[in-house]
Structure 1
């Protein structure tokens, strides 16, 4: 994997924002390039579905590569912001936003209609995560690619423990949904084994698993924002450990890349 770009979307980002997207974007961009070479479509243009795509953090840079993107999100406010954002980015002709969710995905899009499906930050908020994976896979064309990003259990346990909240850390470790307490804003967290299991059961072959934000959520923000060279060094470190299984168990997020066919 190449070194991550601090600014994948070509926009002005805060350092913390770039840390949240850089590793996943580099992996996704490489996957899009590979799929475009084999898709057999005119000019290598892909049809990409971004479920839960919100305001277009990934849809905009994907559209800038020349691909067509359909964003499905349940929030009208997010879709309104998406419309404004794609217009400002000059990609309004390549991005379409529709209101919907993972459970009723095929009420708003056609099954088997997309070369690549992004399912980022969705499984945490659905009642049946396995169903969410199955729906994302069912939206793929033959030989399509799935990019799945979800909250990691181990990262939450580590973060609560380092903050001195040991009871909450243990609760997250033993809770079926991976929550550290009633005040936890994240409804579900997952292990790499859970995510890859659901993907495999849905009929895809897992190509790679990446640990995302292994260190970045634990590093003091003032260091990243003010120390010369700290952001770039941290991005390179995150990239270096992303594919190492030893670090998946402590990542804040887990990314699974899988293919059909």
Structure 2
């Protein structure tokens, strides 16, 4: 069976995250972990994680997203293992327990907050002091530069390359982008040990949809290509997103 094309956006992240949580559960001697999903929205990751038996708390500023999360969790039969709380990364510890989680997800958050370092510190503070896993997913600088250049916007591509926040201009909807080195430094500075650094959406955003949709096996082949290239430095540096897994030991 082939996977939906939309799954390409998170397939690489999901596989690595699931393996990391399996290892964390094994070390903790518990099948079920306490997971905090900061900025988890409607539960794209939270609901599947609850389906694996973990208890997930989702913190998000949007009431509409939390309503969608509640509905999605109910539809998947995991409502008792998913809790939605309104809040943001800045005030994360006001609504989430300090030191209470085996793993924290911080996906699609650092691009938008005023102070990414503060948000990382808050996420780390929510991890159990005896050890925990932090998963960060953020917009990649190289992917934006590459995409603007391929579209013929060479001045914008250079602007993004040289801009401190990785933006290609005033009309750029993304407030901030990261290089692999910058994102890793943010985590190391909080005392985390960085493990996996992956490129996400290396090819998926560049391949025309018609090209993929015309071949029944093309989506799966593209997913396998993404997985094969994800951890290679030359390719992750031009990815649309970066995924970093780090451990508090």
TM-score of the pair, normalised by structure 1: 0.93
Q: Following superposition of structure 1 onto structure 2, how do residues 98-137 of structure 1 map, counting pairs within 5 Å?
A: 98-137=85-124
Q: Following superposition of structure 1 onto structure 2, how do residues 90-105 of structure 1 map, counting pairs within 5 Å?
A: 90-105=77-92
- Residue 31 (structure 1) aligned with residue 20 (structure 2): yes
Q: C-alpha separation between the residues in 1 aligned to 2:108 and 2:195?
A: 20
Structure 1 residue ranges, 4+ long, deviating more than 4 angstroms after superposition: none
Q: For each residue in 1:143-190, what CA deviation from the matched residue of structure 2 results, as whole angstroms up to 9, or x when unmatched? A: 100111000000000000000111111111111111111111110100
Q: For each residue in 1:44-99, what CA deviation from the matched residue of structure 2 results, as whole angstroms up to 9, or x when unmatched? A: 21000000000000001100000000000011110011111000010000000000
User: Does the Cα contact within 8 Å between 1:6 and 1:22 map onto a contact in 2?
Assistant: no
Aligned residues: 248
User: Does the Cα contact within 8 Å between 1:212 and 1:251 map onto a contact in 2?
Assistant: yes
1:220 equivalent in structure 2: 208
1:170 equivalent in structure 2: 158
Gap regions ≥5 residues in structure 2: none
- Residue 161 (structure 1) aligned with residue 146 (structure 2): no
Q: Following superposition of structure 1 onto structure 2, how do residues 1-261 of structure 1 map, counting pairs within 5 Å?
A: 14-15=4-5, 17-41=6-30, 44-141=31-128, 142-261=130-249
Q: C-alpha separation between the residues in 2 aligned to 1:79 and 1:225?
A: 33
TM-score of the pair, normalised by structure 2: 0.97
Q: Secondary structure at the match of 2:203?
A: coil
Q: C-alpha separation between the residues in 1 aligned to 2:88 and 2:211?
A: 38
Q: What's the C-alpha RMSD, in Å, of the aligned pairs?
A: 1.2
Choose 32-41 or 80-89, whichever is displaced more.
32-41
Q: Secondary structure at the match of 1:93?
A: helix
